[in-house]
Amino acid sequence: MTETIRTVCHGCRQVTQYRDDSGDVRPMVLPGNGTVWIDRAPGGLVEQPCPDCGDGDDPGWVPGFTPPA
């Protein structure tokens, strides 16, 4: 079995925060769903495929490993 190395797509990723066991608040990167929201007009957001991963077989992820920023 070949291990697939991949990383969260930075085009549609989401970032949240969590509190670790020591009480420190740290960022957590979550994979997206392969879509992004584009502002087409004031107050008019349109959901479109992510330009980085939206047409891939596994939206939200891209090949290769990149440590989270």
The pLDDT value recorded for residue 4 is 75
* Residue 45: strand pairing partners: 39
Strands 61-63, 6-8: pairing is antiparallel
What pLDDT, in 10s, does the model give residues 7-18? 899 899 999 999
What pLDDT, in 10s, does the model give residues 23-62? 999 999 888 999 999 998 888 899 999 999 999 888 999 9
Query: In terms of Cα–Cα distance, which of 41, 39, 37, 40 is closest to 50?
Result: 37
DSSP letter for 52, please.
T
Residue 3 pLDDT class (50, 70, 90 cuts): confident
Question: Cα angle vertex 10, ends 14, 23, to 5°?
Answer: 45
The pLDDT value recorded for residue 26 is 94
The rounded distance, in Å, linking the Cα atoms of 8 and 29 is 8
